[in-house]
Structure 1
Amino acid sequence: MDQLKVKKGPLQRLKMTLSVLALIIVAACSKVEGGMIHALRGEEQEIIQVVATTGMIADLVQQIGGTEVQVTALMRPGVDPHLFKASQGDIQKLDKANMVFYGGLHLEGKMTEILEKLGRHKYTVPVSKDIDQALLRSGADINGTQFDPHIWFDVKLWISAAGTVRDTLAAYDPNHAELYRQNAEAYIEELNALDAEIKDKINEIPESGRVLVTAHDAFGYFGDAYGMKVMGLQGISTAAEYGSKDVSNLRDYLVENKIKAVFVESSVPPKAMEAVIAGAKEKGHAVIIGGELYSDSLGEPGSGADTYITMVRHNVNTIVEALK
């Protein structure tokens, strides 16, 4: 049976011609990597427009990109990336950006699929992509999370993320590759100093008191890297539910081990931890809130925790002062 052929009108032919021309233009100013087309920075482009999902990633890109980038953080301070839902305005920001950096490892929850699709036609890079999976903590496959995404709490892993940002910027903008290399080298030197500083500070806490209890299990990498036992009421994602049994189990641990302080988080409501404290009090053990930690978000501008380094330093100082 012959197929029915439909004759194309002038408008249809014009649309087809324009589509082909568009593809030719894109191909002329792009390169193909792994089957995907990536636009390169043009000589006349004054500055690279970058969107980063979280404040930590935005700060990382700004440190390495310097004067050649303008970075917008999609999520404001205090926003939980596990639960974040992109608005139409957010989608427009992503679409207009030259480059997009995100955490990966399912940090962005439901946004992950959007980000992966975006990577088919522009530089969209998870900063965790070059970390050896053997160094990643298991996510126990909770809510689709194979690995724990909170890599920034081990400064050495964040150094790996810095290398990924450096290499991605250099590939997109080879004319300034040496600048990105120099910026990254200087910043990595600061990060190595921070790593040593954390180890010295944690040593001020008696070994028996090095127990960090928080609202959700965001500090696992921190505990592994700096020698602390870490317990969270919720799992690695705040999307994970917790129940009365979780509250009572944590309460009993605090009482039995005479833990004197727990910590709330800037991006997680304190109600759950307050219930744990109240339960311990009923059993005759006083527990205080040792302070507020920044887990999935930087602090507001001027908070003293509005860059990655100052955020980490704030957390460490808060932990040490409460537990030493």
Structure 2
Amino acid sequence: MGGGTVRIARLLVGPVLLAVGLVGCAPVEVLSDRDGRVQVVTTTGILRDLARNVGGDRVVVSSLVPDGADPHSYEPSLRDVRNVVYADVAFSNYMLLEEHAIIKALDANLPEGVPNVALAEGAVKYAAEIIPLVEDVALDTIWLGMRVRGTGADHGANRSSDVLLSATAVDGPGVMAAYLTESFGQPTFYLNSADGFDATNGYRDDTATLPPDAHTHMSWAFSEPGVYRLTMRAHLAVTPDTRPVPLGEQTFTFAVGVDPHDVPGMTDAVVLRGGHADLTVDLDAVTRGESALYLLDDPHGSAEGEQQVLDPARTVIEVPNKALAQVPANRAFRFLGRPGTQIHQLPQAVLGKHVHGEIDPHLWQNVRNAISYVELIRDTLIGVDPAGAAQYRDNATAYIAELEALDTYVRDNIAQIPPNRRHLITTHDAFGYLGAAYDVQISGFVTPHPAAEPSLADRRRLTETIRNLRVPAVFLEPNLRARSSTLTEVARSLDVQVCEIYGDTFDGRVTTYIQMMRFNAESLRDCLAT
């Protein structure tokens, strides 16, 4: 496992400028060629724990995302990239669970020939079950995001490629901004017409960057009522070193606080006023000789067969007067205007930097899927280190026996909850597999928007949901408590418990996968059964 000089050179010349984040403070093992063990890097702490249980004392494992950090938004540090350079094998979850910069750091810095295993996809061959990610969020307005369809394989793209969707012009009576509110309440804006658009910088200052076959949520804010026309241009950057491939340009129309049927030149237009829709870049459309930019109407949140393509030239996106909001006092939102200023805003609906695909990536919430991960990790380590094959098999067999007992434990504890009380309302849409595997109804993931105070209607709807379902408790992920003030306030006003549940990261109290799943089962039982 030598070659330290070559790997240090890769670290210095590779695209490590991506890696500047310093989120999280959990201790991280540092990989080194001087260690005789197999050097393993994983993206998350959950995968780190699975790999340690299989590898035992033949491996040293480091995770890129520190415990307590959000894998959807964590940016890798220079130390993280160094660990990638020294790794003998890498395990990611993928299915777009991790922040794209993490995947790019892996793919760009992992030494040639080192296995780079996407566990969620690979585990399907080991009988893991996957379920579609259906985002059925009840909003009074349309939920508008940005999407990339297709893999771009015909253009040479891979999972590390970037699709750039840039604003080049806005025609309207006021300022228009599109921004994303991250997991801990801080905004990152993709476009802001207040400062214009800089063509000399390739419009990168007003650009959303997405991987292939992904979509993201965001908020859309308008300072004045009227008709806005937003022109967007798309490019595909196959690698950081290649010139981006132009994919076309398109103009999208918004009716803000005015009659959407009375937009000049669009009297017969389709009006989008509810459900889920995305400004979409289709990587495969160019190959088919079709327009690469359009609106994808997805009224039921990625439900199979419900999506339809709409021509932006014949479609109006409605931003109604019920979308009125006020700019909050938080200085981070000053780009929207002075605090208290009234704006029209389409809310982000699901908070956090949550770029994802069509499949729910949180497979481990079903213990049977975690067993499939373990089997794939076992076989991968045997391929890297054949001399340790017997130990890897023995470790995996013993650990799978523990996981099978865990699966029974989770099932038995949840079975103690009366069926009419098995309703999970939480902060983050990460529990679909738990619900499907253990007969828990996912009745809502509530993520109030820190950029605007929830309306009375929002609070009334949440209150009625809790009352109607007669749930005795709602659930918060400990690392996401900051985004859940409205849920906790409403729960306490109704004398409903606020309990904890772990989704995709550990902390100082829960440090292993088995501890996490036992904690979740016990928390659900204790908080819902009585």
TM-score (norm 2): 0.48
- CA RMSD, Structure 1 to Structure 2 (Å): 2.7
Q: Aligned-pair distance for 1:63?
A: 0.4
Is the partner of 1:50 in helix, strand or coil?
A: strand
Q: Aligned-pair distance for 1:172?
A: 0.6
Asked whether the 8 Å contact 1:104–1:129 carries over to 2, the reply is yes
Q: 1:277-316 residue pairs with structure 2 within 5 A?
A: 277-279=488-490, 285-289=494-498, 291-300=499-508, 303=509, 305-316=510-521
1:77 alignment partner, one of 64, 67, 70: 67
Are 1:275 and 2:486 an aligned pair?
yes
| 1:30 matched residue in structure 2 | none
Are 1:129 and 2:334 an aligned pair?
no
| 1:157 matched residue in structure 2 | 369
* C-alpha distance in structure 2 between counterparts of 1:177 and 1:247, whole Å: 56
* C-alpha distance in structure 2 between counterparts of 1:217 and 1:124, whole Å: 27
Asked whether the 8 Å contact 1:49–1:98 carries over to 2, the reply is yes
Query: In the superposition, relative to structure 1, how do residues 249 and 91 fare at CA in structure 2: closer, same or farther (>3 Å)?
Result: farther
Counterpart amino acid of 2:381?
L
Further displaced range: 174-183 or 263-272: 263-272
Are 1:265 and 2:477 an aligned pair?
yes
Q: Aligned-pair distance for 1:117?
A: 4.0
| 1:113 matched residue in structure 2 | 104
Q: 1:160-175 residue pairs with structure 2 within 5 A?
A: 160-175=372-387
Is the partner of 2:133 in helix, strand or coil?
A: strand
Is the partner of 1:76 in helix, strand or coil?
A: coil
Q: Aligned-pair distance for 1:123?
A: 1.8
Asked whether the 8 Å contact 2:39–2:89 carries over to 1, the reply is yes
Measured against aligned partners, the alpha-carbon deviations of 1:50-84 in whole angstroms (never above 9, x if no partner) come to 11111111110000001100111222221110011
Query: In the superposition, relative to structure 1, how do residues 250 and 137 fare at CA in structure 2: closer, same or farther (>3 Å)?
Result: farther
Give 1 or 2: higher strand fraction: 2
| 1:90 matched residue in structure 2 | 80
Q: Aligned-pair distance for 1:247?
A: 5.9
* C-alpha distance in structure 2 between counterparts of 1:163 and 1:186, whole Å: 12
Q: How many residues align?
A: 271
| 1:203 matched residue in structure 2 | 415
Q: Aligned-pair distance for 1:187?
A: 0.7
2:426 alignment partner, one of 203, 214, 230: 214
* C-alpha distance in structure 2 between counterparts of 1:194 and 1:281, whole Å: 32
Is the partner of 2:358 in helix, strand or coil?
A: strand
Q: Aligned-pair distance for 1:146?
A: 2.1
Asked whether the 8 Å contact 1:251–1:277 carries over to 2, the reply is no
Query: In the superposition, relative to structure 1, how do residues 156 and 72 fare at CA in structure 2: closer, same or farther (>3 Å)?
Result: same
Q: Aligned-pair distance for 1:159?
A: 0.6
Measured against aligned partners, the alpha-carbon deviations of 1:71-110 in whole angstroms (never above 9, x if no partner) come to 1122222111001111222111211222221111111122
Query: In the superposition, relative to structure 1, how do residues 170 and 155 fare at CA in structure 2: closer, same or farther (>3 Å)?
Result: same
Give 1 or 2: higher helix fraction: 1
Asked whether the 8 Å contact 2:87–2:110 carries over to 1, the reply is no
Asked whether the 8 Å contact 1:263–1:292 carries over to 2, the reply is yes
Unaligned residue ranges in structure 1 (runs of 5+)? 1-21, 23-43
Query: In the superposition, relative to structure 1, how do residues 119 and 209 fare at CA in structure 2: closer, same or farther (>3 Å)?
Result: same
| 1:15 matched residue in structure 2 | none
1:145 alignment partner, one of 357, 375, 387: 357
* C-alpha distance in structure 2 between counterparts of 1:58 and 1:318, whole Å: 24
Asked whether the 8 Å contact 1:139–1:147 carries over to 2, the reply is yes
Counterpart amino acid of 1:67?
D
User: What percent identity do the matched residue pairs reach?
Assistant: 32
Are 1:176 and 2:388 an aligned pair?
yes
Is the partner of 2:446 in helix, strand or coil?
A: strand
Measured against aligned partners, the alpha-carbon deviations of 1:137-156 in whole angstroms (never above 9, x if no partner) come to 21356434221111111000
Query: In the superposition, relative to structure 1, how do residues 243 and 87 fare at CA in structure 2: closer, same or farther (>3 Å)?
Result: farther
Q: Aligned-pair distance for 1:199?
A: 1.0
